[in-house]
Structure 1
């Protein structure tokens, strides 16, 4: 996505157990991180994972 992770940090903001589409119990995790596209401004990104798969990724609107 041509953005840079800031502070080399990803923060765990949620942890649950949830079943996947096949009914298997997996760990559901939500992470927050700060990123920049221009090097001048800071934005927040979010990633939700179920097991080892990314099921949702969201970046705040940002400049290119």
Structure 2
């Protein structure tokens, strides 16, 4: 069973949130939300979804290059 952040000692959630993988995924999520907000038509949404599922799509490459 997963442990809730509120059930952990206070230093543990801080360490989890500051971990590089967690921060990286937070940045990736922000990029996805920004891209999703730019979708207006069904075609836009379909392109967004297709690129989201492709490992070498411009969307995922853009997020990777922002990290480096």
State the TM-score, normalizing by the size of structure 1. Answer: 0.29
Q: Which has the higher helix share?
A: 2
Larger radius of gyration: 2
State the TM-score, normalizing by the size of structure 2. Answer: 0.28
The structure with higher relative contact order (CA 8 Å, sep 6+) is 1
Q: Which has the higher strand share?
A: 1
